[in-house]
Amino acid sequence: MSERTIADLVQPHISKLKAYTPGDQPEGSEWIKLNTNENPYPPSPKVSEAIRELDANSLRLYPDPKSLQLREAIAAHHSLEPNQVIIGNGSDDILNLLIRAFGGVGGTVGFSFPSYSLYPVLIGIGDGVTEIVDFQREMYLPVEQVRNSSAGLFLLTSPNAPTGVGFKNEKIEEVLKVHSGLFVVDEAYADFADETAIALLKKYPRLVITRTFSKSYSLAGIRVGYALAAPEAIDFLDRVRDSYNVSRLSQVAALAALEDQTYFQRVVAQVKETRMLFQAELKEKGWFVYPSQANFLFLEPKNSKGESNEDVATSLFDYLYSEKILVRYFGSHVLTSSFLRITLGTESEMKVLSKAINSWQTIV
């Protein structure tokens, strides 16, 4: 019998696969963590209350497979019907379901670049074909190219990550009118934006919107996301979903967070206020920063000679790292290599950040 190695046994497309690289999650509170777009504020106190009240004995039992109560609450929140909602283990799970159901082996899935770097990994896992539509530096939505895409599934991040730029419904509609595939608007950051594409669902049955509790509801650790779409699309997604994809604890926590809209709005307003102040501060330095509709800024630092490039960006990254401030650098591409993405923190974290940036400026 011939000896086969594990590498011989793995599927060929998986053997070539490069895993997604998430931002660092260092242990310990000495870090100021501005690298993964988490919310700097705690979730609503109603979340801890709901978790405390959960009877641990109920954890013997599997959760509601369809997360029905949460579907109903989310549907009501967006003035939709429960059959237009599906809940996932984070919106990553939802993206995975979309690619599983509408991409799959040999299926073409399109997305714009730069955007969420998980997309190509999920397409790779499904052995699909990737179609990339490049942004230009202005970050306008390349309407013509997206309209002409032959992909059966197209993913648009709006507000975009890592730039923070939001696309107007008017532009999204120009695409939807012509695009023949399923069109996903990944709205992970839409609660921080001026506009959402939800109203377009009525008019465009091939539109899917994905959302998350990880950012605006401060619940990245609980892993709940959802999609809003036509009942027919939701039905297909349900068919490929793991039966118990959202834990009891997660369903309870997300529901409590959703119900406390007063707290939610206060937190979102605070993050937006911080965004405005930090953006103004960077502009005063003469640094380029994309107008952000999200909870982070994508900024292009300058050294004392007024230069912006990869070396300048990595120099600031390293300096902040040495000060125990974690931000995100996406090198390797001309559109991202001279930039840093910085998540908006608490007021006191932002003060420490500003001070560190000012000190760095004195040495470069």
Ligand X SMILES: Cc1ncc(COP(=O)(O)O)c(C=O)c1O
Residues contributing to the site for ligand X (CB under 6 A): 37, 90-92, 116, 157, 161, 186, 188, 212, 214, 220, 225
Nearest CB to ligand X, comparing residues 95 and 201: 95
Min CB(225)–ligand X separation in Å: 4
Nearest CB to ligand X, comparing residues 95 and 289: 95
Cβ 37 vs Cβ 275: under 8 Å: no
Min CB(1)–ligand X separation in Å: 44
Nearest CB to ligand X, comparing residues 161 and 327: 161
The end-to-end CA distance of the chain, in Å, is: 64
- CA–CA dist 327, 354 (Å, integer): 13
> Tokens 């529901």 — which residue?
255
Min CB(164)–ligand X separation in Å: 11
Min CB(336)–ligand X separation in Å: 14
Min CB(119)–ligand X separation in Å: 9
Please report, for residues 37, 219, 251, 352, the alpha-carbon distance to residue 328 in angstroms, rounded to integers and kept in the order given: 10, 20, 30, 17
Q: What share of the chain is helix, strand, coil (3-state, %, to 5)?
A: 40, 15, 45
Nearest CB to ligand X, comparing residues 88 and 126: 88
Nearest CB to ligand X, comparing residues 91 and 196: 91
Min CB(92)–ligand X separation in Å: 4
Min CB(214)–ligand X separation in Å: 3
CA dihedral 166, 259, 60, 215 (to 10 degrees): 20
Cα 189 to chain centroid distance, Å, stands at 6
Burial class, 9, CB count within 10 angstroms (exposed 0-12 / middle 13-18 / buried 19+)? exposed
Q: Give which of 232, 211, 294, 248 is closest to 81, Cα–Cα.
A: 232
Q: Taking CB positions, which residue lies at the least distance from ligand X?
A: 90
- CA–CA dist 178, 150 (Å, integer): 11
- CA–CA dist 237, 154 (Å, integer): 16
Nearest CB to ligand X, comparing residues 92 and 300: 92
Nearest CB to ligand X, comparing residues 101 and 356: 101
